[in-house]
Amino acid sequence: MTAWVLGLVLASYAPQQAGSALLDPAREARVQALGKQLRCPMCQGLSIADSSSSAARAQMDKVRELVADGKSDPEIRDYFTSRYGEWALLDPPASGMNLLVWLLPLALLVGGGFAIARTMRRPVPAAEAPAPPTEAERPPSDDPYLEAVRAELRR
Amino acid sequence: MISILGTTLVLGGLLAAAFGAVVGIEGGLRHRPNALKIVLGAVTVFLVCMLGANLTMVYALVTHDFSVHYVSQVGSRATPLVYTVVSLWSALEGSILFWGAILAVYVFAFSRAHRNHPPTNPLLALGTMLAVGVFFSFLIAGPANPFGRVTPVPPDGPGPNPLLQNHVLMVIHPPMLYLGYVGMVVPFGIAVAALLRGQLGDAWMAVLRRWTLIPWMFLSVGIVLGSWWAYAVLGWGGYWAWDPVENASFLPWLTATAFLHSAMVQERRHTLKLWTVSLSLGCFLLTILGTFMTRSGVFNSVHSFTQSEIGPTFLVFLGVVLLVSIILIAVRGPLLVPEGNLGSVASRETAILLNNLLFAALTFTVLLGTVFPLVREAFSGVRISVGAPYFNRMAVPLGVAILFLMGVGPSLPWGRASPETLRRQFLVPAAIGVGVVLVCLVAGLRGGLTLLTFGLGGFAGTVTLREMALPVRVRMREQGEPLPQALWRSATRARRRFGGYMVHLGVVLVFVAIAASQSYVVHTTATLKTGERFQLGPYTVQLTGLRNGVDPHRRWTAAEVQVTDGRGRQHLLAPRMNFYERSTDPIGSPAIRSAAFEDFYLTLLAFDQGTPSASFNAWIFPMVSWIWWSLPLFVLGALFAAWPERRRARADAPEPVSVPGKAQSPGAAA
Amino acid sequence: MSRRGLWIGLSLAAVTAVLLFVLAKGFGRDPHEVPFQLRGKPAPDFTLRRMDTGAPVRLSELKGKPIVLNFWASWCGPCKAEHPVVTMAARRFGQDYQFFGVVFEDTEENARAFAGAPDPSFPQLIDERSRMAVDYGVTGVPETYFIDAQGILRDKVAYPIDPRTMMEKLAALKQPAGPLSEVVR
């Protein structure tokens, strides 16, 4: 522990290596887009494009190198999944069980929309509740809220 | 000594809560009005014990009493006083202790506010809240006891987590979140009481709404401050990473927002009762789940604390609360029969129903995305990630739809709208929305989704402002009131309406700011030797030198740069790298030059003392600070809406302004 | 209880059961662990320059002895504590294993200062732009990789290695490959 702390004090002024030079704008845009999809191993939640940690910088340099070598996007993603597993992809590929994470929210939306449509058409329990007021029952050309305001002003 | 005192207080709180919970629920179920006095006493004892335990811990922290287990974990003589006090909630045990204190304050406030109610409801609600108090004081007394003794007494401690002592926002952000989280226990208690009794009257509903609004406000503040903190401290140039802990705070906010809207339908139409009450239960369940995410060590996150022992206990509690909620909903829920029905398709009810559907879908998506890696690992043993790209893809369309509804809902009358009303209500706002898009196009802005957001922002903003201005205009024109008086009167006579629209304006602002800062961001990286410069947009950045420094709790290196903005003004910025004893990779402190319409954001990536040289990440974020500047609108709006109506206004009989639904047609209420 | 209530209750209970099961399964897992997919696969080839002599070192020409690769950086605190462990192991088992240090995300100048006098049993390699480190699936420093005599990447340790773990992993390298790597070959 003591050695650890001492070591840190010594090490703390040591610079880290700077990142590699950027590519031309078109290819650099690809590098950044790919970087946004890959998960940084040290900082966990962030992408390697966002993180400034050493491991993320190393991986961004690797992405840049692979793009410069003319590798395609799927090839580059494969490069990372073959080392870090599916874990490396921030966007879970839509296949197998992962389909659930993409489809369940949609199912909820559709099911909920269906339920709402059914509720709207449900017959009115006539004894308890009168029909909702229609436009005709109201003073024709105005907002009910404003009517309320006027009513209050009149008092 | 301190250990004994603290433990005794916690045990006292445990006993008081247990006693009050039993008496309250039993007395409420058997309709014993005189039980209320006993429960009020138990609540007071619980409050005194919990506050006492927290003050004891603060005292131990400030006096560096390292014989106390928690102090030996997070204390350090080198830590500045502010952060020493703050370290009360910077680690697991202390934060649970702090939870307990806030819980006690909420329960006490609730008991004082409603002791004059017919006692059955407060009894059941207080009993439920105290039952939650039993769990938390049990956690503090047992699995997460911060008052344990340490022998031999260490001379010094490691200090709190470096990330948590990097910025002053950390002093206010966590308490705000806790106030939001813990506050949800009150609506939970009220909802459980309503279900136990099998009825939910208007008066009790108003109580439920107000007590949801308060934690909702704190959650909003906590979330916005949290994103501000992430932006100002974490140095990756973003403010929201869809990190499990961020999601944990977002989830109850979403359900609480849905609740605040569905409560209006319940009030006007006396329907959706079960759904509304379920949302209240959901808010609390999600805060417990959120606390579990932060504290159990199962989820991975920037600020989740380390592996802990309390996870299983918490999971059992979560299971019990879930079970109780489900049984209550299934068994007692059908008693909450709708006494009314919904309006037609083009009505405000429908808009709010759709709003609730979208909020439910958003909640479900965020929850699913957060736990899905665990699901995948539990069932197929594969580790996967669900990160920002997923959440953005799913949440952005839902958010845009919500923004659209925010313009539609307030324009629609309750009940039914004629085509003519629709035309009149939508023509101007829609035209303004389209106008905004056209202006953006002419100004050279591109991006379909972004422009759609701007257009809808213009649409919803216009509707909101119009709805706020209409009563003012009526008062000025028909009553001859001067503008300030008309404004004040129309605002105070319809507090909830006015407050709600203030919040809507804040939300529009946040949407526009997020869209602009995400879409029109400019970014580059560069390495400079001293004297060299690089250009980003209108900004010129020149490295003037490196500087090293030592603080009591860290060492740092700063790159001093001179930034010249588009108007030739010069700013000195110094992004830093901080080296804490406890962390391996250095932690950066970005330097930000914030202006009204854009931020220039600079982080230090690497440096070399020899040359000297430094590498930077630089961004221009348009409008990003508007996200934080929307905060006053949220706070003021919520306070305005939650503020108790004046007695006089209530005596003025049927409260026409705040209940326009009833006033709109005497026939409907008959 | 009505039929509808029962139905709602049961479906909610099912969702709850799944949620609780999944959360309970999560206990004991280290949320910070990053999967290592290269275990049992042929180690990626590399050609790196030795920091002391400048001579190139090529993995494919090193066959015959098991190899230990230790990734480190001068700015990394835990590496300081770990370095003597690897150095001692290299001196003691240098006949049977080849040890290499690989400098990660660091300047050569600082790496030299960190490593001190060159040690022939534990040569340090310069990895420009950390290309080779990412090939091996490094997630940070320090990390130690174990390659058997057949060039199969058998294991990695993603924390500061201690003498006992080092001994265990070295011994395991001499064992025939487990079923996993058999399948891969």
DSSP B618-668: EEEEETTHHHHHTHHHHHHHHHHHHSPPPHHHHHTSS-TTT-HHHHT-HHH
CB contacts of C25 in chain B (<8 Å) are 374, 377-378
Helix (H, G, I), strand (E, B), or coil: what is residue B297? coil
Q: What's the 3-state SS for B82-127?
A: HHHHHHHHCCHHHHHHHHHHHHHHHHHHHHHHCCCCCCHHHHHHHH
Q: Is B428 on the interface with A (CB under 8 A)?
A: no
Is the pLDDT higher at A153 or at B569?
Answer: B569
Q: Is B615 on the interface with A (CB under 8 A)?
A: yes
From C3, C9, C10, select the one nearest B330 (Cα to Cα): C9
Lowest mean pLDDT of B341-350, B356-365, B370-379, name the range: B341-350
* Mean of pLDDT values over A5-16: 42
Residue B524 — pLDDT band, cuts 50, 70, 90? confident
CB contacts of A77 in chain C (<8 Å) are none
Task: Please judge whether A87 and C34 are an interchain contact, meaning their C-beta atoms are less than 8 angstroms apart.
Answer: yes
Q: How far apart are CA B572 and CA B351, in angstroms?
A: 50
> Of how many residues is chain A composed?
155
Task: Report the residue of A52, A54, A137, A155 to disrupt the B interface, i.e. the one with the largest count of B CBs within 10 Å.
Answer: A52
Q: Tens of pLDDT along C124-175?
A: 999 888 889 999 999 888 899 999 998 899 999 988 899 999 999 999 988 8
C-alpha R_g of chain C? 22
Residue A69: is its pLDDT beyond 60?
Answer: yes
Q: Tens of pLDDT along A88-131?
A: 999 999 888 899 999 999 999 999 999 888 877 665 444 444 44
Q: Tens of pLDDT along B425-447?
A: 899 999 999 999 999 999 888 88
Q: Which pLDDT does position B22 carry in this prediction? A: 95
Min Cα distance C52 → chain B (Å) is 21
Peptide bond into B612 cis (omega under 30): yes
CB contacts of A147 in chain B (<8 Å) are 660, 663-664
Helix (H, G, I), strand (E, B), or coil: what is residue B469? helix
Element (DSSP H or E) covering residue A107? helix A99-121
* Mean of pLDDT values over C15-43: 86
Write down which chains contact chain B via at least 3 CB pairs under 8 A.
A, C
Q: Which pLDDT does position A134 carry in this prediction? A: 44
* Mean of pLDDT values over B579-602: 83
Q: Tens of pLDDT along B152-182?
A: 888 888 777 766 666 778 788 889 999 999 9
User: How many residue pairs from chains A and C have C-beta atoms closer than 8 A?
Assistant: 102
Exposure string over B26-60, b if 16+ CB within 10 A, otherwise e: ebbeeeeeebbebbbebbbbbbbbbbbbbebbbeb
Write down which chains contact chain A via at least 3 CB pairs under 8 A.
B, C
Q: Which pLDDT does position A14 carry in this prediction? A: 46
- Helix, strand, coil percent values for chain C (each to nearest 5): 40, 20, 40
Q: Which pLDDT does position B307 carry in this prediction? A: 53
Instruction: Give the whole-number percent of chain B exceeding pLDDT 70.
Output: 93
Q: Which pLDDT does position B344 carry in this prediction? A: 74
Q: Which pLDDT does position C114 carry in this prediction? A: 87
Q: Other C-beta atoms within 10 Å of C28: how many?
A: 10
Q: Which pLDDT does position B612 carry in this prediction? A: 84
Q: Is A71 on the interface with C (CB under 8 A)?
A: no
Task: Please judge whether C139 and A81 are an interchain contact, meaning their C-beta atoms are less than 8 angstroms apart.
Answer: no
Q: Is B426 on the interface with A (CB under 8 A)?
A: no
Looking at residue A87, its amino acid is W
CB contacts of A83 in chain B (<8 Å) are none
* Mean of pLDDT values over B449-462: 95
Residue C85 — pLDDT band, cuts 50, 70, 90? very high
* Mean of pLDDT values over B118-123: 84
Lowest mean pLDDT of A20-24, B496-500, C67-71, name the range: A20-24
Q: Is B387 on the interface with C (CB under 8 A)?
A: no
Residue B619: is its pLDDT beyond 90?
Answer: yes
Q: Which pLDDT does position C182 carry in this prediction? A: 42
Q: Is C75 on the interface with B (CB under 8 A)?
A: yes
Q: Measured between CB atoms, which of C2, C18, C30 is closest to B334?
A: C2
The ipTM estimated for the assembled molecules is 0.86
Residue B449: is its pLDDT beyond 50?
Answer: yes
Burial class from Cβ neighbours inside 10 Å (0-12, 13-18, 19+) for residue B403 reads: buried
Q: Measured between CB atoms, which of C13, C27, C35 is closest to B383?
A: C35
Q: Which of residues 509-538 of B touch A (CB under 8 A)?
A: 523-525, 527
Residue A137 — pLDDT band, cuts 50, 70, 90? very low
- Alpha carbon distance, N-terminus to C-terminus of chain C: 62
Q: Which pLDDT does position A1 carry in this prediction? A: 34
Helix (H, G, I), strand (E, B), or coil: what is residue B603? strand
CA angle, residues B140, B146, B152, in degrees to nearest 5: 145
Q: Which pLDDT does position B646 carry in this prediction? A: 56
Average pLDDT, chain B: 87
Task: Please judge whether C31 and B586 are an interchain contact, meaning their C-beta atoms are less than 8 angstroms apart.
Answer: no
Residue B354: is its pLDDT beyond 90?
Answer: yes
Burial class from Cβ neighbours inside 10 Å (0-12, 13-18, 19+) for residue A72 reads: exposed
Residue A17 — pLDDT band, cuts 50, 70, 90? low
Instruction: Give the whole-number percent of chain C exceeding pLDDT 90.
Output: 45
Phi, psi of B29 (to 5 degrees): -70, -35
Looking at residue B353, its amino acid is L
The two tokens of residue A44 are: 């966990």
Q: Is C5 on the interface with B (CB under 8 A)?
A: yes
Helix (H, G, I), strand (E, B), or coil: what is residue B489? helix
Q: How far apart are CA A63 and CA B387, in angstroms?
A: 19
Give the dihedral of Cα atoms B276, B279, B283, B289; nearest 10 deg. Answer: 160
Q: Tens of pLDDT along B273-312?
A: 888 999 999 999 999 998 888 777 677 655 444 556 778 8
From B661, B666, B669, B667, select the one nearest B415 (Cα to Cα): B661
Q: Which pLDDT does position B582 carry in this prediction? A: 58
Is the pLDDT higher at C176 or at B540?
Answer: B540
Q: Which pLDDT does position B49 carry in this prediction? A: 96
* Mean of pLDDT values over B39-55: 96
Average pLDDT, chain A: 76
Q: Is C4 on the interface with B (CB under 8 A)?
A: yes
Q: Measured between CB atoms, which of A42, A61, A85 is closest to C140?
A: A42
Q: Measured between CB atoms, which of B297, B300, B330 is closest to C8?
A: B330
Residue C181: is its pLDDT beyond 60?
Answer: no
Task: Report the residue of B243, B424, B585, B655 to disrupt the A interface, i.e. the one with the largest count of A CBs within 10 Å.
Answer: B585
Task: Please judge whether B585 and C1 are an interchain contact, meaning their C-beta atoms are less than 8 angstroms apart.
Answer: no
* Mean of pLDDT values over A37-54: 85
Distances (CA, A) of C96 to C87, C89, C99: 15, 11, 10
Instruction: Give the whole-number percent of chain C exceeding pLDDT 70.
Output: 93
Q: Measured between CB atoms, which of B361, B386, B493 is closest to A152?
A: B493
Residue C37 · residue C137 · CB < 8 Å: yes
Closest residue, chain A, to B612 (C-alpha): A15
Closest residue, chain A, to C111 (C-alpha): A14
Is the pLDDT higher at C14 or at A7?
Answer: C14
Task: Please judge whether A58 and C130 are an interchain contact, meaning their C-beta atoms are less than 8 angstroms apart.
Answer: yes
Min Cα distance A6 → chain B (Å) is 9
Q: Tens of pLDDT along C45-57?
A: 999 999 988 899 9
Q: Which of residues 62-81 of A touch B (CB under 8 A)?
A: none
Q: Which pLDDT does position B211 carry in this prediction? A: 93
Residue B499 · residue B640 · CB < 8 Å: yes
Q: What's the 3-state SS for C60-116?
A: HHCCCCCEEEEEECCCCHHHHHHHHHHHHHHHHHCCCCEEEEEECCECHHHHHHHHC
Phi, psi of C53 (to 5 degrees): -95, -20
Q: Which pLDDT does position B136 carry in this prediction? A: 93
* Mean of pLDDT values over B218-239: 90
Residue B110 — pLDDT band, cuts 50, 70, 90? very high
Residue B314 — pLDDT band, cuts 50, 70, 90? confident
pTM of the model: 0.90
* Mean of pLDDT values over C84-94: 92
